[in-house]
Amino acid sequence: MYVVSSQFFIPIITLLRNIALNSMQYKLELNLMKSQNVNITNFEDKIANFKTGFAKKYELTSRQFKIAIEEITKQCHACKKQKMHF
């Protein structure tokens, strides 16, 4: 408990009010920074998931293309052999 002289009552109330407003402003800025940090973390997680998914899809697709090219090559050789027999 504090005792304040009547001549300093208004300045003390104003000072306390300003401190409370500044405290609220700092809390708002802190919440904003936390939300931005969460957004960045979510973005990083999404990028990591995308990279992983893309790598899997790329590997699967390239493997399938390789198999398809090998099959086409086999068919071309088979056609050439057929052509030589005629």
How does pLDDT run along the chain (86 residues), one tens digit per residue? 778 788 888 999 999 999 999 999 999 999 888 888 887 888 888 999 999 999 999 999 999 999 999 999 999 998 988 877 66
Judged by DSSP in three states, 5 sits in: coil
Tens of pLDDT, residue by residue over 3-17, are: 878 888 899 999 999
In order of 1, 2, 48, the CA distances from 8 in angstroms are 16, 12, 59
> What are the helix (H) ranges across 1-86?
9-85
| Tokens found for residue 30 | 């802190």
Distance CA 73, CA 83 (A): 15
| Tokens found for residue 63 | 């493997």
Distance CA 66, CA 29 (A): 54
